Amino acid sequence: MLENISIGQYYPAESILHRLDPRVKISILLVYVIIVFLARGFLGYMLLTGFIVAALQLSQVPYSFILRGLRPVFFIIVFTMIIHVFMTPGQVIFGAGPITATVEGVSRGIFMAWRLALLVISASLLTLTTSPIDLTDGMEYMLKPYQRFGVPAHELAMMVTIALRFVPTLLQEVTRIMRAQMARGADFESGSLLQRGRSMVPLLVPLFVSAFKRADDLALAMEARAYRGGQGRTRLKVLATGTHDWVAVAIALGFAAVVTYTRFAMF
């Protein structure tokens, strides 16, 4: 299940979204995240879902790939929904002692689970349609104005990109170690909560050792290539926005205006 996480992976294709400027895609994602939190009601969330479905269609990324990436966070989504169902005051549907489920709780729980799913899919879509190099360049360009305040734009962009890049790698490492430990008789699924916590020790120790070794190998490789940060570095490919990028920005802003209108309008 762990290898199914899609955040941090890149899906190569020749789609419209793949050809967009990475700065435009990052900006659209930020706008989308903001309006996800602004949206209210069924209409707002249907519009948000329609936007994601249209983006997925344009990206040429298989729907099964995206849905498979939701499996690792499915427990968090369901747990969030259950918490809201039983912790939100309102009209009681049923109850067992102090624990009661309410109509308002069910409604809020569904929308919160819906919101989390949209956030995960939108973040996954950015990394699936943007190569790590383009993502680094886009983040660095966007952070450059803050260099005058001492913000290390290149280093921050590099760290974020490396972290995203190694998410699937570390998850694959977790799966490999788990299978090796299970072949030696380890049990990660049965027993009490305390016993399960103790059984994770044989998993965490080799995982941390492997992660530090990968970090050390990466640092040695960067030093061997005379990497000295962003000072004085040039690029083979210079980012430039085209007409299709501005069209995408206009569509995103127009969509944000519509969702914001549904948030405050009276229907």
Residue 95 three-state SS:
strand
Q: Looking at per-residue confidence, does 32 or 189 come out higher?
A: 32
Compute the average pLDDT of residues 131-150: 82
Q: Looking at per-residue confidence, does 85 or 186 come out higher?
A: 85
pLDDT digits (tens, 9 = 90+) for 48-72: 999 999 999 999 888 887 877 777 7
pLDDT at 1: 45
Residue 164: pLDDT over 70 = yes
pLDDT digits (tens, 9 = 90+) for 190-236: 766 676 677 777 788 888 888 888 888 888 888 888 777 666 666 66
Nearest 10 degrees: Cα torsion 11, 12, 14, 18: 60
pLDDT at 232: 65
Entry pTM? 0.76
Where are the alpha helices (H) located in the chain, listed in sequence order?
A: 16-19, 22-38, 41-59, 63-70, 74-87, 103-128, 132-143, 153-183, 193-199, 201-224, 243-264
pLDDT digits (tens, 9 = 90+) for 3-41: 555 556 788 888 899 999 999 999 999 999 999 998 888
230: Cβ contacts below 8 Å, ≥ 6 apart:
140, 152, 153, 154, 155, 158
